[in-house]
Amino acid sequence: MVEYRIDRGSGVPAYVQIVEQTERALRMGTLTVGDKLPTAKEVVAATAVNPNTVLRAYRDMEAAGLVELRRGLGTFVTRSLARPGAEDDSPLRAELADWTARARRAGLERADVLALVTAALDAYDAAPPGPADPSGSPGPSAPPKHPAQHQENA
């Protein structure tokens, strides 16, 4: 089951955050076809958002074909976003979990980690595709000791 986390300071509407977190869970395989989403009442209790906000997110996901609202039964996943072979990413997921744990121990805040990952993704998008590293090495993965000051994009 997915547990929603609403960041009120992000500038992103709560219903969009619910949709994005659901889509992320569908991509990661945390949610699969047939899974039941938390009820609006459960999401409201966990996040303190308005019930209409949750219902809007669920309606948007239904319109996108991701879920089906069954009156009296709940909201169920109808489509996966996980790509074939996503389960093969588990070693990468484990490495990323280890890296984020090290980042936390090094004193980085969520915004610092997000800035580092965003910068890495920007470089990833800009780089031409190349051959895989034959050594299998993930490359440097430790967070910097003194992260540069940054402004987070809203």
pLDDT in tens, 64-98: 999 999 999 999 999 999 877 666 667 877 888 89
**Is the full-model pTM beyond 0.85?**
no
What is the maximal distance between C-alpha atoms in the chain? 54
Q: What is the model's pLDDT at position 85?
A: 67
**CA separation, residue 90 to residues 18, 87, 93, 99, 134 (Å):** 24, 6, 5, 14, 19
* Cα–Cα distance for residue pair 16/52, rounded to 1 Å: 13
